[in-house]
Amino acid sequence: MMELYLLEQLIAFSRQGTLSGAAEKLHISQPALSQSMKKLEESLGVSLFERSKNKIALNENGIMAVQLGRKSRRLRGCTCVWRTPPCRHIGL
């Protein structure tokens, strides 16, 4: 089961561009964020990052997961999701 806070952390990474920057913004340690990202990858069953010796970046799966996280965030704050026609806030 995926935890929503993991998506929030992934979104923070996408905004900051680095694990250390995202960890600072989230007020957690960089190793804790790295573990969270591995946990998210395991829960989704896909790799979310392109990793090299000194760099980490979102891959296509990671970009889609960020988009999912952003839509999920909007859904949690939207009270009109179940109305017809579909809610304009979530881009349906």
pLDDT at 34 over 50: yes
The pLDDT of residue 4: 84
- For residue 86, say if its preceding peptide bond is cis, omega within 30 degrees of 0: no
pLDDT band at 81 (very low <50, low <70, confident <90, very high): very low
- The pLDDT of 61-89, averaged and rounded, is 71
Q: Which residues lie closer than 8 Å to 63 by C-beta, 6 or more apart?
A: 14
Helix, strand, coil abundance in the chain, percent, nearest 5: 60, 5, 35
* Sign, CA torsion 64/69/70/75: positive
Q: Which amino acid is at 76?
A: R
Q: How confident is the model at residue 79 (pLDDT cuts 50, 70, 90)?
A: low
